[in-house]
Structure 1
Amino acid sequence: MFAFELAKQFRKSGSQQRFISFISMSSTVGIALGCFVLILLLSVMNGFEKELTSRILSVIPHGELYSVDNRGIDNLEAQRYRLEQDKRIARITPYTKLTGMLQFKGELKAVELTGIIPSENTSQYKERVTDKQWAAFTAEPKGVLVGQGIAEKLQLSVGDPIQVLVPVTTNDLSFKAPKTVSLIVSGFLSIGGELDNLVGLMHLDTASNAAELQSRAQGLQFTFYDAYSANTIMREIGYSYPQAVYMSDWTRTQGHLYNDIQLVRAVVYIALILVIGVACFNIVSSLVMAVREKQAAIAILKTMGATDALIRSIFIFQGAINGVVGITVGVALALLVTPNLSSIVLFVENALGIEVLSGDIYFIDFLPSELQWQDVFITTFVALSLCIMATLYPAQKAAKISPSSSLH
């Protein structure tokens, strides 16, 4: 294309154009850096969201229904069968939850134990413990799997006898001595983050007996095929349930993690789009100066019959070249670094002796990354659009140059 060839010729710098070339190069570098960092950070956010789904949401229930009193769930099996007909539900399991203080050798630690049926929860929890520990837990009715953080704090070992002090509620709100439940440590549950310092698993019948329930289970736990629809589905189920129950879903207990990820994703996107936009202002500056520098050449082209559309196309192409080069370099770097980001960060941690993410605080102890092509395409489209928009004013200014006033 003739306009494209002229644009390439106009880009060639002479001694009088060094400053223009510097501004042009800075715009290219800014666009490349903005695209690279934007794709990289969006991939990190994708990685956190993936780990949240695979680690936290694969263990904690997506939704819960539980009795408002110590009756527990009436007609447990009949209600399970009825609810299992809903195609949105992947699994329903009965449970009973005990909240109390775990006591071992004079030390106390707050704990939330969930009573489950081990044979119905193998896919949910088994991969979080060793096969030997899971087998021991399944075989021992008084067995308990405690969070890794609890075990480290109390220095527990497999086989240790422990007591759980469960508060006793009364109708007149008077104080009573807590009920003591004796259990045996079968293993240690590793989920990640704060949950390791709080949760534990025990057998359903043992938990229900300790809670003095009239039925076998306090409530039902739900796992949905789409975890992010849990809020809507649980309200449908809860409002239509034939018994007075409380309802909850994972967004009430762990939703802050997901909300934080989405907030950071939005802030990162806005901030780095603005960075790319600022880099595009350099395209405006360099093209305006180039138009002034090339006034005589533009006038000559017009006297030779060049149309305003051709002149506009020349400077649009000239600015677009800067944008395309920057976008290409930035995207290429992102595609190279993003899949290896976890290894790169691990190498830096080992080299400098620092820890980017602590497993005691966060639900993972490494920096995750998952590249999604839609992020690459959106970033490329937005950056290229900003670059084209930045060329419109200088291109229009060039098209308005009059040969009679420029050639004198």
Structure 2
Amino acid sequence: MFRPLSVFVGLRYSRAKHKNKFVSFISIASILGISLGVAVLIIGLSAMNGFEKALRDQLLSVVPHGELEMVSGSFKNIDKTLKQVKAHPDVVSAAPYITFSALLQKDEQMKALQLRAVSPDSESSVTSIEQYIKQGGWDLLVPGEQSIILGKSVAKKLSVTVGDSLTLLLPDKQSGSRLKSPRKLKFKLVGLFDMGGQLDNMLGFIHIDDAKQILSMKSANAVAFKVTNLLDAQKISRDIGYSLSAYLYIKSWITSQGSVYQDIQMVKSLMYIILLLVVAVACFNIVSTLVMAVNEKRSDIAILKTMGASKWMLRGIFVVQGAFNGVVGCLLGALCGVYLALNLTAIIKYIESLTGHQFLSGDIYFIDFLPSQLDISQVISVTAVAFIMSVLSTVYPAWRASNIQPAEELGYSH
């Protein structure tokens, strides 16, 4: 098969043994360096993609995308408000709720948390909390029975299980400047949810009708809604909030959980830059390899020039030789990176089982495993960038090889 002379000679030089063993060592080091940089970059980006997917599919499945809460009092006409919210083209569904702080007591144990009074049917259209009910059931949250659903962490702290009774402590209304003793209400624990992270430790659910009776409210004081585009949730929330005539707190998942998303994006960007610099350092080894290879092949270059080889052909020989190292390193790194990224979760779980140490705690983070999601477009872009960097690193040695003077080299050899 026909091949350009520069490609043929460059590939021969790539496979040939070097007189100086140090040149071979540097060549292997450059290939391994590029492979390591590409593999780690693919694994790291896949892990960040996994965190982003877990944030979207898990945390944001139980946190409302957008919320409108009355500054004081409740909505005068909640049905009209819901219609106005749902009328927005980017809103998928909406549900009313009441939110308030309370203190739970079981014997001598007490726990403060945020209670969210919802209607189970309408809440299911906005969040997927029912998927995380591990004991009891979402359907057991019925009006008039003073039932409550708590996070696993809260139940553990209070030492209660499904079916136990709890005391709900609420501040009583002020009478002038005097404060009355708190109201005590009996509630029955009918379910436990396990979402992971801080939500398990700070959130509880009761039925909205029970909350209306307890707080003497005629209607809900907040509306939660689900949007089509998660990243536009803050803008959509503002648009809806400004269109209503009530005084509202306008919130979205970006205000409550946005720091997690921003941290993921920042780590992804920093990882991309830092590991590309690792690849760049590995590419400098290609420069060293080719510079030593040029010094080793000076007489060969001189002979090729006397036989009519042009400067561009000589440059092509050493570009091909350096690019060969880049191709091998990039492909080896891409294959290792893809394999490890696809099996990252299983590998980390195996390491955790061997060491007995859990890398991610479900009590702190919103997940208790290391996620991974491979993006083929990222694999292609990382591999392409690493290859381009390896080719660029061949320019100086190739240019230097083309400037060798045959008369000087062949003259010295005699």
Q: TM-score, normalised by structure 1?
A: 0.95
The AA in structure 1 aligned to 2:206 is: M
Which of residues 140, 147, 151 is equivalent to 2:151? 147
Partner of 2:362: 359
Shift of 1:240: 2.0
Once the two structures are superposed, residues 297-354 of structure 1 have per-residue CA deviations (whole angstroms, 9 ceiling, x without a partner) of 1111111111111111111111110010001011101121211111111111111211
Partner of 1:7: 10
Which of residues 297, 302, 309 is equivalent to 1:299? 302
Which of residues 172, 185, 192 is equivalent to 2:189? 185
Shift of 1:255: 1.4
Does 2:67 match 1:59?
no
Partner of 1:236: 239
Pairing of 1:217-296 with structure 2 (within 5 A): 217-296=220-299
Q: Secondary structure at the match of 1:57?
A: helix
The AA in structure 2 aligned to 1:358 is: S
Name the Cα RMSD after superposition: 1.8
CA distance in structure 2 between the partners assigned to 1:87 and 1:250 by the alignment: 19
Partner of 1:122: 124
Partner of 2:171: 167
Q: Secondary structure at the match of 1:305?
A: coil
1:117–1:204 CA contact under 8 A, matched in 2: yes
Shift of 1:145: 0.5
CA distance in structure 1 between the partners assigned to 2:146 and 2:40 by the alignment: 52
1:189–1:200 CA contact under 8 A, matched in 2: no
Partner of 1:205: 209
Shift of 1:231: 1.1
The AA in structure 2 aligned to 1:275 is: V
Q: Secondary structure at the match of 1:149?
A: helix
Shift of 1:137: 2.1
Partner of 2:112: 110
> How many residue pairs are counted as aligned between the two chains?
406
Q: Secondary structure at the match of 2:95?
A: strand
CA distance in structure 1 between the partners assigned to 2:180 and 2:326 by the alignment: 73
Does 2:351 match 1:348?
yes
2:302–2:405 CA contact under 8 A, matched in 1: yes
CA distance in structure 2 between the partners assigned to 1:170 and 1:270 by the alignment: 58
Shift of 1:169: 6.7
1:205–1:216 CA contact under 8 A, matched in 2: no
Shift of 1:223: 1.1
CA distance in structure 2 between the partners assigned to 1:84 and 1:330 by the alignment: 49
Partner of 1:74: 76
- The farther-off stretch of 204-213 and 372-381 is 204-213
Shift of 1:15: 5.5
Once the two structures are superposed, residues 352-373 of structure 1 have per-residue CA deviations (whole angstroms, 9 ceiling, x without a partner) of 2111111111111111111011
The AA in structure 2 aligned to 1:388 is: V
1:30–1:279 CA contact under 8 A, matched in 2: yes
Does 2:329 match 1:331?
no
Once the two structures are superposed, residues 143-182 of structure 1 have per-residue CA deviations (whole angstroms, 9 ceiling, x without a partner) of 1110110011111111222122233576988645333333
Q: Secondary structure at the match of 1:158?
A: coil
Q: Secondary structure at the match of 1:254?
A: helix
Once the two structures are superposed, residues 108-159 of structure 1 have per-residue CA deviations (whole angstroms, 9 ceiling, x without a partner) of 1111110100111236221111585223224764111101100111111112
CA distance in structure 1 between the partners assigned to 2:344 and 2:176 by the alignment: 59
Partner of 1:48: 51
- The farther-off stretch of 278-287 and 255-264 is 255-264
Distance verdict in 2 for CA 1:311–1:168, change over 3 Å: farther
User: Please, which runs of 5 or more residues in structure 1 have no aligned partner?
Assistant: none
1:145–1:188 CA contact under 8 A, matched in 2: yes
CA distance in structure 2 between the partners assigned to 1:102 and 1:268 by the alignment: 44
User: Please, which runs of 5 or more residues in structure 2 have no aligned partner?
Assistant: none
2:154–2:201 CA contact under 8 A, matched in 1: yes
Distance verdict in 2 for CA 1:252–1:15, change over 3 Å: closer
- The farther-off stretch of 314-323 and 84-93 is 84-93
1:89–1:223 CA contact under 8 A, matched in 2: yes
Distance verdict in 2 for CA 1:28–1:45, change over 3 Å: same
Does 2:371 match 1:368?
yes
Partner of 1:88: 90
Partner of 2:400: 397
Distance verdict in 2 for CA 1:374–1:61, change over 3 Å: same
CA distance in structure 2 between the partners assigned to 1:251 and 1:53 by the alignment: 12
Distance verdict in 2 for CA 1:232–1:403, change over 3 Å: same
1:67–1:73 CA contact under 8 A, matched in 2: yes
